[in-house]
Amino acid sequence: MTSGRFYQDAARKPLSEALRYGILLVFLLTAVFSVRFTADLLKGLTFFETWSRQHLPEIVIQKGEASTKVEQPWRYDGREFVLMIDTTGKTAKIDDHYRYGALFTKNVLFFKTGPDETRRYDLSRIDELRINAGTVSQFRKVGQWVLPPFLFLFNLVVYGMSLFIQIIFFSLVSFLANWIGRRRLSYSSRLSLGTYAVTLPEVLDTGVRVSGLQIQFLGAVHFAVYAALLVTAVLQSPPAETGESFEEL
């Protein structure tokens, strides 16, 4: 994917062939990181099931109001996560020093998904629901079969769309390289080159995500490598003859 001869041949191939290649690339990379993500998810569900048997008090929601038999405010503190139950009204929010957390009040569930984001879910729509170790166990049994294929399809669609948008956006880079380098590639040829050139940065990015490595400015490195490969690919094509017009973007 880095040789000049490869890109010379790729520029001559029809766009339909490049699109088929792109679809295959999306499918394979989605399968790779979905396996890792699913494994982590199932591990988390198993851990939560074990934890709920030891720590989780039963929470009963009837006609939009939550209640529990434990002394309140009740809380379980983790390293970055806290679970709180307080239907007495003494606790109004999740403490700021927790990165993630959940808080059951009498009528609302607060779920903190990040340092600066807390979502609010009204319990008034729930007629009757019991949350206990048995509920968590049942969710784990169903989730281990339902969630993996659902997450694969979800990741496939989202990743496919993001990659397509990325290729379209970086066609501006190939246009500039085509114009400045006085090459004569058509727009469809430049899209084909963009589809093949994105392979290396996407494979490296997926490898980093699957391995769990933390690389600073990974996104910037990804785009820089892609742009460099794309410019190189365009410049491998024959130059236009003197006086020949260039195709506009």
Taking only Cα atoms into account, the Rg of the chain, rounded to an integer number of angstroms, comes to 26
Please state whether beta strands 128-131 and 100-104 pair in parallel, antiparallel, or not at all (unpaired). unpaired
The pTM (predicted TM-score) of the whole model is 0.71
222 contact partners, CB below 8 Å, separation of at least 6: 201, 202, 204, 205
Q: Mind listing the pLDDT tens digit of every residue in the chain (249 residues)?
A: 556 677 778 778 888 999 999 999 999 999 998 888 888 888 888 988 998 999 889 999 999 999 999 998 899 887 778 898 999 888 888 888 888 889 999 999 998 887 778 888 999 889 899 999 999 999 899 988 988 899 899 999 999 999 999 999 999 999 999 888 888 888 888 899 999 999 999 999 999 888 878 888 888 999 999 999 999 888 887 665 544 444 444
173 close to 198: Cβ distance less than 8 angstroms: no
Which of 110, 67, 70, 109 shows the shortest CA–CA distance to 87?
Answer: 67
Tokens representing residue 130 in the block: 């019991």
Give the position of tokens 């969630």.
147
Strands (E), the chain: 59-62, 65-67, 74-77, 81-85, 100-104, 108-114, 117-122, 128-131
Helix (H, G, I), strand (E, B) or coil at 239: strand
DSSP one-letter code for 241? P
